[in-house]
Amino acid sequence: MSGVSLRANETLEATLDAYGNMILRLAYSCLKSRDDAEDVLQDVMVKLLELNPRFENGEHEKAWLIRVTINLCRNRLRSPWRRHRELDEAVSVSGQPGWDAALGEKNAVMEAVMSLPEKYREVIHLFYYEDYSVAQIGRILKKNESTVRSLLYRARKMLKEYMKEGWELD
């Protein structure tokens, strides 16, 4: 690797081993695209190399990686190029027979979570998939604990409604 020291390369590999899947899952839950999630994972690693932050402990490093991942996802969601591409993909997928049925049969819960607005997907992901407490989520997202509890409550309510409607259709 030109331009990257052996020590930086080892640090990057250790970070990828420890947190790569978490970053990928979080980015996917925000962006709903595996390709975009992989791009964000790569961008997070580039930021880590560029900034070379010093962490107090593993939890501090994990929180920093989550914060950077969320920020990069939000930047991608704001991109006009992404909005144009999503429209093209929606048109191409909608013509495939059985697409919605296959998706619903494979993973109804994930489909329900992915249907939530971003602010709800974030808290659901951090709470249920990353096992963060309400207080920790508040620090990561820079929100009050009461706000995080409200977002979780609303997200759960939306998920119940979504799942109830899904089961009634069957």
Integer Cα distance of 145 and 143 in angstroms? 6
Confidence of residue 1 (pLDDT cuts 50, 70, 90): very low
Q: Are residues 134 and 76 in the same domain?
A: no
Residue 48 CB partners (closer than 8 Å, separation 6+): 11, 12, 15, 65, 68
Residue 3: HSE in the Cβ half-sphere, 13 Å Cα cutoff: 3
Q: Is 47 a residue whose pLDDT tops 90?
A: yes
Q: Are residues 87 and 105 in the same domain?
A: no
Q: Is 24 a residue whose pLDDT tops 50?
A: yes
Distance of CA 136 to the CA centre of its chain: 16
Integer Cα distance of 139 and 134 in angstroms? 9
pTM > 0.75: yes or no: no
Percentage of the chain modeled with pLDDT above 70: 78
Q: Are residues 55 and 130 in the same domain?
A: no
What is the CATH classification number for the domain harbouring 106?
1.10.10.10
What is the CATH classification number for the domain harbouring 35?
1.10.1740
